[in-house]
Structure 1
């Protein structure tokens, strides 16, 4: 009897385990729903001490031939939705979307997933390190020749304990690796042109594309056909053409490029397609001219006019030489900038207008430099030339021309972050073309930016209309110092967005300390 009882208990235990198998840590139970099995999984078996974030995943196994949809389903469909009501110790949960596949049925395009997919979820805990009870109602649309709505309730309990990787950690990582990376971080630039019933999106990267596809998301056109793809520059440039697409100029769109296991995405604005290089050069010339009125350049132009006040009683030739030298500095430095960008692009780098303003060291240098210029205008310090420099200056027929050239170069540097009308259009068009077009467009931008200096050089008598030097110049210098200080403060905000508020605050504090020391001295 004792042996039979033990045997019955063993059979009962085996039957119980077979009907309700124990789940490993971090794995929720499978739930059967419409044409799919779903479960909630975690990358760790437990929540470690002080842990604030969880890496979760919605694991979906679809029956053969059925699919669910991406965040933008295409011509028809709905993406999965999760409702986390009933969860405990769960704050915000963000669903990430791996790169989709393209499906076509009856001539309609749709984007989604077939077979098996894990939708990564980034979750934040309300109480770090404490256990969490996770539960979500999943609503989805599953389609083959027909579409069927599905719903399931998935759940997962995570205790507090050592955050040991779960059996699903590798699976979550594999699909998280297919979530598109930001284009800028991947070294890929995106540009879009629209016009004459055609949308063209250009992607240029440091590494060649192989067989790329493009998914475009925009509220203006919820679905687009498959694009025609052409590769250039050894595959580093991919051009996606959507014929018979009427997209208004200025429309913002999200472009997701999928090339095998690689996926990137970024936002761009569809610009009106230019009608030839001549039209773009005209746009660049106008844009460069308008740059003189932007807050980046206006202080430098005002400083130059202030300096010309000292030439009001001098010979017109002196004013003409000074203005033409400044104009030459503007034009040459803009052309040098275009040549540098063309060289970087030829080397496979990601380039754009104002690219140097993405470098924290350059931003800190420019912010400090404009701040020191402001201190100089406020009379906190002055740099005197040595005696030998004065002797050379008296002997030189063109004294001060090096300073005028530097003024022009400085104006160009400060102009590059400004998005004046037409500048972005011309620069974006040029940076998707060849070296010749880049140099031509940047030469036109430089010509437009230098135009006011050339105009004053053509009519130097305009300098004589300025008031004679006097006490008003001290007040004007102070006002120009305020403008330069404002420029320095603006550069600090750009530095904060690039390198963090702590770095920008450190540079600002150092500059303020230097100003205080100069004032006390």
Structure 2
């Protein structure tokens, strides 16, 4: 009986003894948080190294955080008691969570985090683990513990080695790694001889900056990642050049921990960079030529053809000189645009096709020019030069050739708010290419646009086939004047938005447009929804053509109001870093830009510059995927 009493007392004492006598804490829970369980184990390896393994189990839907949590959350931390003075954590590869516009990095379900202590053969290890767990709400929970390390436990050694196997290696994945920073964007370039499948990046954030979700693209052996940088609120991030960037790159089960010094900006090549140069130049020629058919340029071209009838005796030599002057005006204008783009690139400013129409002074100047042309065509005034000036112009190469030169310049300026097929691809490649290639592409654009003018300069007899002068010329002059006046009034409507917030929702549209953002795309795709993206601008005539001919149609409107369709619109009327970056990531340099996402198009399907009803509806249907 006494023996039984002693055995019972001994068992009770074992149960009463603190956890410091056990090699593990057992699974710990808190009354304040029943969604997480933690366990700490310790062991002294045969080499005398003190190792700790932190095991975390989470209920479905709950997550905890990596060493660099991101925009929200707190990394697990242990407040060690004596004698622990230094602990080295080894973090397994995390996952990325994007919720409500916030991107975080962490773990879900279960994770084991290895820790090595500097102390040799401690008698006990104690402390308080503080763990942040989140779902719809976030909980910060303390777990006090005391454990006594075991000695060369085989089970522990297996579990510790398995956990270390999930920790990124210092090498073995990338062959070369670079990072550059410019204009609130961090660009990472990584090359791998074996190529890339599904690469992921996880970055350690500096204290004074916040990183958004990386946008990645693979070009053969090269991975490009662009990461938005902010100050954590609404402002731009700090200049990161010269700082060290710590990051993890993972792909297909292999991960590497790296550190690289952030240099000047890296230029992410556009998707069309794989095209041979001759094909890009051909696109530029076609795109420039098609600009002549857009409503932006037709008034000037019509006025130019009408001026042929005013040439005395229909002198072919005079006609050739006039059209050559306009041809030179167009080429000079495109070279001036190339110079402007070069300066903007060298000064690290945003570039794009038609961005000058985001400037209120440029719009005001164009309104004035168009009003003057319109008034002249209406016959409200005539510009009469002195006989001396007229004689000088005549002796220096034709009557008023400078006016024809400026007609070519005006035609080019009026063409910039228009986007045409092939034009967007050529301009996007030009803005991301080397400067010599940029100038070559803009020269090809100028030649393409001036082809009709050059054709008449080479064959003046083509222009002479117009009907003989008569009363119809007065009507043509009035029609051109009305077109010029209409252009001036349209340009004037672009001015108010520069001085106040003006809603530009078309009254005939019943689509619930939402603001465009990468997070909105990610959220909709996570819900298996389809997306229709429309990036537009008030000054973009092609955008208005698309809206009138396609988007405003009843059947298209009905399709965009479906319960599983999310419509996102980005307005580029005024400068916007977010939309500029959105376009650049997709190899675009101007608007309109339309794209469709969905289960059938998880990576997005860009639509043609000029939309068609069937193209939009068929793409929306295909975006459903296999239901």
TM-score relative to the length of structure 1: 0.52
The residue matched to 1:110 in structure 2 has which SS? strand
Cα displacement (A) at 1:452: 0.3
Q: Does the alignment pair 1:318 with 2:318?
A: yes
Task: Show the counterpart of 1:384.
Answer: 384
Helix, strand or coil: the match of 1:242?
Answer: strand
- Of residues 199, 210, 219, the one that matches 1:225 is 199
Is 1:257–2:228 an aligned residue pair?
A: yes
2:97 — aligned with what?
111
Residues 1:330 and 2:301 aligned together: no
Query: Contact 1:33–1:151 at 8 Å: present in 2 too?
Result: no
Q: Is the 8 A contact 2:370 2:487 kept in 1?
A: yes
Separation in 1 of the partners of 2:401 and 2:426?
31
Equivalents in 1 of 2:73, 2:437: separation in Å? 36
2-structure distance, mates of 1:244, 1:111: 27
For 2:289, the equivalent position in structure 1 comes to: 289
List per-residue Cα deviations over 1:338-382 (Å, max 9, x = no partner): 022112211222211112111111011112221221122112222
Shift of 1:255: 7.1
Q: Distance in 2 between matches of 1:278 and 1:405?
A: 29
More displaced, 359-368 or 255-264? Answer: 255-264
Distance change in 2, residues 1:355/1:66 (3 Å): farther
SS at match of 2:293: coil
DSSP-derived class of the 1:257 partner: strand
Does 2:311 match 1:340? Answer: no
CA distance in 1, matches of 2:317, 2:73: 67
- CA distances 1:410-469 after superposition (whole Å, capped 9, x unpaired): 111111121111111111111011210110000000000110011111211112211222
Q: Kindly provide the CA deviation profile for residues 251-287 of structure 1, in whole angstroms up to 9, marking residues without a partner as x.
A: xxx97524897669xxx9x855541221111100000
Distance 2:323 2:490 in 1: 28
Provide the secondary structure at the position in 2 that maps to 1:361: helix
- Looking at structure 2, the residues matched to 415 and 100 of structure 1 have their Cα atoms a distance apart, in angstroms, of 50
- The RMSD of aligned alpha carbons is 4.9
Cα distance in 1 for partners of 2:449, 2:56 equals: 59
Higher alpha-carbon deviation: 273-282 or 410-419: 273-282
Q: Distance in 1 between matches of 2:55 and 2:202?
A: 26
Contact 2:324 2:454 in 1 (8 A): yes
In 2: Cα distance, 1:486 partner to 1:112 partner: 47
Contact residue 109 and residue 224 of structure 1 kept, 8 A: no
Report whether the alignment pairs 1:145 with 2:110.
Answer: yes
2:366 paired residue number: 366
Contact (CA 8 Å) 2:353, 2:427: kept in 1 or not?
yes
Change (3 A) 1:461 1:431: same
Distance 2:286 2:101 in 1: 51
Asked if structure 1 preserves the Cα contact closer than 8 Å seen for 2:390 and 2:399, the reply is: no
How far residue 470 of structure 1 moved from its aligned partner, in angstroms, is 2.1
Shift of 1:486: 2.1
The Cα of 1:496 is off from its aligned counterpart by: 3.7
- Could you say which structure has the larger radius of gyration? 2
Q: CA deviation at 1:228?
A: 12
Q: Deviations over 1:107-142 (max 9, x none)?
A: 8852359xxx9979xxxxxxxxxxxxxxxxxxxx98
Name the SS of the counterpart of 1:313 in structure 2: helix
Shift in Å at residue 481 of structure 1? 1.2
Map of 1:12 onto structure 2:
none
Residue 304 of structure 1 pairs with residue 304 of structure 2: yes
Give the match for residue 456 of structure 1: 456
- Does the aligned pair in 2 maintain the 1:328–1:408 contact within 8 Å? yes
User: 1:302, CA displacement in angstroms?
Assistant: 0.7
Contact preservation (8 Å) 2:363, 2:492 = yes
Residue ranges of structure 2 left out of the alignment (5+ in a row): 1-31, 38-53, 64-69, 76-90, 112-132, 140-178, 191-196, 204-213, 239-267, 505-627
> d(CA) in 2 for partners of 1:288 and 1:369?
23
Q: Is 1:242–2:218 an aligned residue pair?
A: yes
Tell me how far apart the structure 2 counterparts of residues 441 and 501 of structure 1 sit (CA, whole Å). Answer: 37
* Corresponding residue for residue 72 of structure 1: none
Tell me which of the two structures has the higher relative contact order, counting C-alpha pairs closer than 8 angstroms and 6 or more residues apart.
Answer: 1
Cα distance in 2 between the residues matched to 1:109 and 1:312: 77
Counterparts of 1:501 and 1:118, CA distance in 2: 24
SS at match of 2:228: strand
Cα deviation for residue 294 of structure 1 reads 1.0
Evaluate the alpha carbon distance shift between residue 471 and residue 213 of structure 1 in structure 2; reply closer, same or farther with a 3 A threshold.
same
* 1-structure distance, mates of 2:74, 2:427: 34
Given the superposition, is the C-alpha separation of residues 286 and 362 from structure 1 closer, same or farther in structure 2, using an over 3 Å criterion? same
* 1:241 Cα deviation from its structure 2 partner: 3.5
Residues 13-65 of structure 1 deviation map (CA, whole Å, 9 limit, x = unaligned): xxxxxxxxxxxxxxxxxx968459xxxxxxxxxxxxxxxxxxxxxxxxxxx99
